[in-house]
Amino acid sequence: MSSDLWQRCCERLATELPEQQFATWIRPLPAGLVTHTEAGPVMSVRVPNRFKLDWIRNQYAARIEALLAELNGQPMRLELSLAPREALSPRPVAAAVHALPQGLNGSHNGHAVAPPVVSPAPAPASQPSRNRLNPSLTFDTLVPGRANQMARTAALHVAGAPGQMYNPLFIYGGVGLGKTHLMNAVGNALLADRPDAKVLYLHAEQFISDVVKNYQRKTFDELKAKYHQLDLLLIDDVQFFAGKDRTQEEFFNAFEALLAKKAHIIMTSDTYPKGLVDIDERLTSRFDSGLTVAIEPPELEMRVAILIKKAETEGAQMPEDVAFFVAKNVRANVRELEGALRKILAYSRFSHKEINIALAREALKDLLSIQNRQISVENIQKTVADFYKIKVADMYSKKRPASIARPRQIAMYLAKELTQKSLPEIGELFGGRDHTTVLHAVRKIGGERSKNTELNQQLHVLEQTLKG
């Protein structure tokens, strides 16, 4: 009876969803089981891993509940939970659905409760580090936020259905923003799902040295055999291919062979494909032929969440006010945040003092004084004026043509993002403008940024330039 209801629900979803989405996310699920609780009937569905669970919960749970209610004639709660680890194998997961351990059951609000940290199973013992993935870099340990939303969504999609959409996936962004983390997360998730998948993570320099080695030994067939058989190739920091013609040629070959057999390729770089220098255009246009997404520096709330989560991982508690204090002062990237956190934890352990703002201020003394010297509004005005080829004086002038007003708005936006100045202070520095003018600019550019790729890329370049 319950599998019948699930079956009918799936049939309806199959008519509503694009075929590929249905095939990727819904069809592989084991049949749901109905139980009756005091609060009403519940449909429990086991999902093989955490990233699928998150995805299904975000994208489809509400629709599934609505369909269940309609088909059942009364509300029915959907409870998504993780299948036990043994079920993570190529065989159908349905066999193991009854063996759910205590503690993995869903909560009362219809959303699944995840165990504290569920990392995908590491690579099988037969190929311990051959894939060169770092098993601790997973979707579970990656804090989501606006800054990585698009990249994370695309990565989740690739992990769930490699070789299909977004191939190649090109992720770019400044240092220490989580590009390596994200691509490792895809590899780890795919292996958790399909332990036999052939995955390889490589820094671009490792690929270069592989090419050089094989060049010296004249063993290009081996090189080809090694790369062309993969299901997922992850290449970090492709900007390192600059000027390496032979490497580019071999990479081009591998690229074509992998795409032809629908293997997936993910690359990262410090800039978008067209911004890469000394890399053959034949290659950069290929890089851009799937999906190109940026990872931005994390916003304040995300920095706070990262600090709290990383402190927890280290077995420490970071009070929220301290996390805010650190996040406000350490803004460049996640690696710097991690460095700041390490200093605070070490300082606290060493001095046997509890973590509070005074202790954080003391522990980060050197870092804070450097930060304070960092980016000034004047610097932003000059950089933006240079970039858009207008005069710095136009930043303070009352001129209104779009060719001037827009760069001015961009500079105001960056002043708000990158300095600690208030809206009235920024208005003052832009020729005595009202704070509402600044607010308007900040909202306008911020809003457009998420929709307009070209603007986003320009802002990205400006931010990188300003941060030196």
DSSP H/E element including 41: strand 40-47
Of 282 and 328, the one with the shorter C-beta distance to ligand ATP is: 328
Residue nearest to ligand ATP (CB): 178
Q: For ligand ATP, which is the closer residue by CB, 179 or 244? A: 179
| Spatial distance between the Cα atoms of 244 and 241, rounded to a whole number of angstroms | 5
User: Among residues 137 and 322, whose Cβ is nearest to ligand ATP?
Assistant: 137
**Measured CA angle at 267 (ends 266, 272), to 5 deg:** 130
Q: Look at the alpha carbons of 146, 151, 155, 157 in this order and tell me if their dihedral is positive or negative.
A: positive
User: Could you tell me the smallest distance in angstroms from the CB atom of residue 252 to ligand ATP?
Assistant: 23
Residues 436/454, Cβ–Cβ less than 8 Å: no
The secondary element (H helix, E strand) that includes residue 34 is: strand 33-37
The residue ranges of DSSP E strands in 377-432, in sequence order, are none
Footprint on this chain of ligand ATP (rule: CB under 6 A):
137, 141-143, 148, 173, 175-181, 306, 334-335, 338
Q: Which is nearer to ligand ATP, 148 or 457 (CB)?
A: 148
180 is in an annotated binding site: yes
CB of 223 to ligand ATP, least distance (A): 24
| Helical packing angle, 2-16 and 61-72, nearest 10° | 120
Q: Which is nearer to ligand ATP, 152 or 416 (CB)?
A: 152
In whole angstroms, how close is the CB of 142 to ligand ATP at the nearest point? 5
179 annotated ligand binder: yes
* Number of helical H runs and strand E runs in the chain: 20, 8
User: What type of residue is 53?
Assistant: L
Closer residue to ligand ATP in complex, CB, 180/348: 180
The percent helix, strand, coil of the chain (3-state, each to 5) is 55, 10, 35
CB of 148 to ligand ATP, least distance (A): 5
CA-wise closest residue to 410 among 366, 379, 441, 436: 441
For the bound state, the minimum distance from the C-beta of residue 416 to ligand ATP, rounded and expressed in Å, comes to: 22
Least distance from ligand ATP to the Cβ atom of residue 265, Å:
17
Q: Which residues are annotated as a binding site for ATP?
A: 176, 178-180
